[in-house]
A and B are shown apart, each in its own frame.
Chain A
Amino acid sequence: MAQAEAQDHGLHGHAEPAQAMAHAEGQQHPIKLYLVVWGWLFILSACSYAVDYFEVQGYLRWGLILTFMMLKAGLIVAVFMHMAWERLALVYVIIVPPLVILVFVAIMVIESRYTEVIRALSFGVGP
């Protein structure tokens, strides 16, 4: 462990080209992979546009929009941004904090429902 750390520091100091080479080995993927993901992003975008074009309504609409959105976001982060090949230490630092936004969403949903009711009661316009 100590030895590995010493090497770590050694490399950190004066071996930048070696580091670059290491990265070149680490993030080499066939071009075909990017083209396939690109194709899927086109298909998924076309699908979400179709949801609007064919005027799908209600829960089905929201479900489809969210599904296509998450699939697109997942593909971009995992393949284009190389998250699928990073170590978990980095992946969790980046992916976990945004999930806290969902708590914020829940708070604001309650808050805006309350505001809406107060507005309806005070100004007499029904929701």
Chain B
Amino acid sequence: MTFPATDCAFEGFRLTRRAPLAVLSWAGAYAVFIGLMFMLVGPHFVTVLSVITEMQAQGQTEPSPKDVERLAQAYGVIIGWAMPLGLLFSAVISTAIARSVIRPEDRKFGYLRVGKDELRVLGASLLVSLIMFAVTFAGFMIVTLATAGAMALPALWLVVVLLSLAIIGLLIWLSVRLSLVVPSTFAEGRIMLKPAFAMTGKKVFWPLLGMAIIAGILAMLVGLLGSAVAAPLSLMVGDSEQLVAMQGASVPSLLSALGPMLAVSLVVQAVLSAAQIVIMYAPFSAAYLQLKGAPRA
């Protein structure tokens, strides 16, 4: 069975028209998430910046063992918070998008929840990420080995290039084959790795890839238009002369002086991220419904 790929590619726009408040609430969730991350890891981010500033001031090109220790500590905290919270937030947002397409009537809290569905989607996303990581890592190792061989035998450079292209092709193929894991996991109420893989076989692969390309380009266009619309706003609040005049100022004073600019950036970033993610993700849920022969809202 196949499906109308170009029609599904526009599901994000349809969803925005159907449930604008939900999309706005996702933008709000993004703003809260970015703000929360800033509060949790902000001081450690300042540590990283100040270590780099000190190194530059002392003309150091390599960090000292003490600097490395401070950097490692700061990065450890940043990654320690950002990884789990980022994964959970991503699962919440992608489940909300899937819910809004597959169960549009379930619109409470802008489709946002933290429950079993989100945990299942988190598990499925982790599995997909692990598979992709394993393939990328194996590919990287193979290319590294071939590159080492090419250093000794230059004729192998062609093999290196062909292998790299083959691995990129394999990753694209795998991404398409696993692209319906999230909507099917949400719809079926269990992690659907193998069935989703089986669903995206021969006849569906190319339309699905085409749909993903169109959705990606649409998201790019929205990002471009959004930044064009937001640029005058940023220019109004972000006084570039003030920014240049503050060269070398401490990070806290920079943050306090550029508060309005940061606030505008936060809002713009949150709205654009939400819009782009809806345009990118919603088509896969629509494609899943079409392939299942279920009616779409």
Q: Do A and B come from one complex?
A: no
A interface vs B, CB < 8 Å? none
Give the A-binding residues of B (Cβ under 8 A): none
